[in-house]
Structure 1
């Protein structure tokens, strides 16, 4: 039996001449199977479930992104009714926004990609997030749209443009057989690993084993991509993370130092001041 499809209209979502709408939605079994007259990029931020798209059903889980062009029928459903959530951030935007984004672009492949999207020449697409690069953009977009601070529309357009560039890169990586792309992705995965394991005692040898690169080549990659040795980059990651904790929590500085891998508070204070120009206490008080 053919599913009944409801068509969602952009004029319901886009208010006051805006061309973009962002929401965070707990998916359920009530929302209709639908298509729409706008473009959609959806990102699963929590849980797992199913994506009914056209005549197929796909299992989905946190960290997956879906590009859905005009006219594609679909709906997300949670895994069960037992309370396990499927949470999706949806970015809906009018194709009329794309010429504005094209004005941001300076590289022909990006311009061509956006025009193909504008002209309906891109089919639906899904990708697994790498390095949380999509999640960070979606969270920022949702925060901007929700807070409605001055300049939020410009920020949303800029974030959507970044999202488009990342989406284009992802599509090119999946299509391109150039061996340099998997290597590039492997190094980006390594940087992501460092950012999420601040508390660990890591060595270049351990990172080489983890990534499959030689230690010498890994040093070259760090200089090429970060402008620093691996150890200085590692210190900057720890200090950046400790800066966030100083501003967002009331934890003692000793505890924050330990949370980013420093057992010696004096070493932590020295590195922090060298990289920021302030002691941790001064950094916290300045806010």
Structure 2
């Protein structure tokens, strides 16, 4: 298992500014990491996967991921060919100490409690969808203000962060509990796939495990990953093979078998189609 890197807020926060905002193009190079600050990450472009806390979630444009302190995670694009399949994420990271300052401006009891849970490390990891582009507009405004600061920039960023907390609290409170449970069950199924890549995986076998029909499962894959089951499974297997190519000295045939390909030729064909290069070329490029 690869070590988990810990990111420190001291690297990002300077001159009493306890918030940092950037726009990042995700790739396969970033390590799995945790951090001593809070992160709200918004998917601005593309699709891919979020590996978090031992699970894998499919991600798409318009999703916001709320990540507490100490939760190991990493974003990965759907393909190693990031030129054709980019994954762009806005990251808003901030110190829990900042939330104490923001709380003094809040009068609504539910919002104050919600901010307090994040400040005290009591909020779990969760994610939600931006239903009306409000979160995207706030993220764009925060990134613009952080990148091109003007007078009273810190105060302006604080007010935008309060607005973001209000929107997130409303969406989380108003989310239908039934749909949240169904999505969680689907996430568990995706985690099962990641943990059993070496085994034969099919819609039929997953239908038996989940007790959903094959037709309904195919609809869920389209809805939550914007891919068919077969496309998602191939991307997941190639993604895992990329990690093994970077982090191990296993032969390519062994890697193909580890991620579920019994025929090395098929693996090579799918890998080149998705990654845009052969496994050998990818390993060489990742080590250079």
Report the TM-score range of the alignment, normalised by the length of the smaller protein.
0.5 to 0.7
Higher relative contact order, chain-length normalized (CA < 8 Å, sep 6+): 2
Structure 1 equivalent of residue 115 of structure 2: 114
Aligned pairs for 1:135-154 (under 5 A) are 135-154=136-155
Residues 176 and 51 of structure 1, relative CA distance in 2, 3 Å threshold = closer
Superposition deviation, residue 17 in structure 1: 1.9
Larger Rg computed on CA atoms = 1
Root mean square deviation, CA, Å: 1.2
Aligned pairs for 1:155-166 (under 5 A) are 155-166=156-167
Structure 2 equivalent of residue 86 of structure 1: 87
Superposition deviation, residue 56 in structure 1: 1.0
1:41 and 1:112 map into 2 onto residues whose CA distance is 18
Q: Give the 3-state SS of the residue equivalent to 1:23 in structure 2.
A: strand
Number of corresponding residues: 176
Q: Structure 1: which 5+ residue stretches go unaligned?
A: 178-287
Q: Does 1:25 align with 2:46?
A: no
Q: Deviations over 1:146-170 (max 9, x none)?
A: 0011111111000000000111111
Give TM-score scaled by structure 2 length.
0.60
Q: Deviations over 1:121-140 (max 9, x none)?
A: 11001001110010000000
Give TM-score scaled by structure 1 length.
0.60
2:4 and 2:116 map into 1 onto residues whose CA distance is 28
Superposition deviation, residue 176 in structure 1: 6.5
Q: Deviations over 1:154-203 (max 9, x none)?
A: 110000000001111111012679xxxxxxxxxxxxxxxxxxxxxxxxxx
Superposition deviation, residue 3 in structure 1: 3.9
Q: Give the 3-state SS of the residue equivalent to 1:17 in structure 2.
A: coil
2:7 and 2:67 map into 1 onto residues whose CA distance is 13
Structure 2 equivalent of residue 133 of structure 1: 134
Q: Structure 2: which 5+ residue stretches go unaligned?
A: 179-288
Deviation >4 Å, runs of 4+: none
2:159 and 2:7 map into 1 onto residues whose CA distance is 25
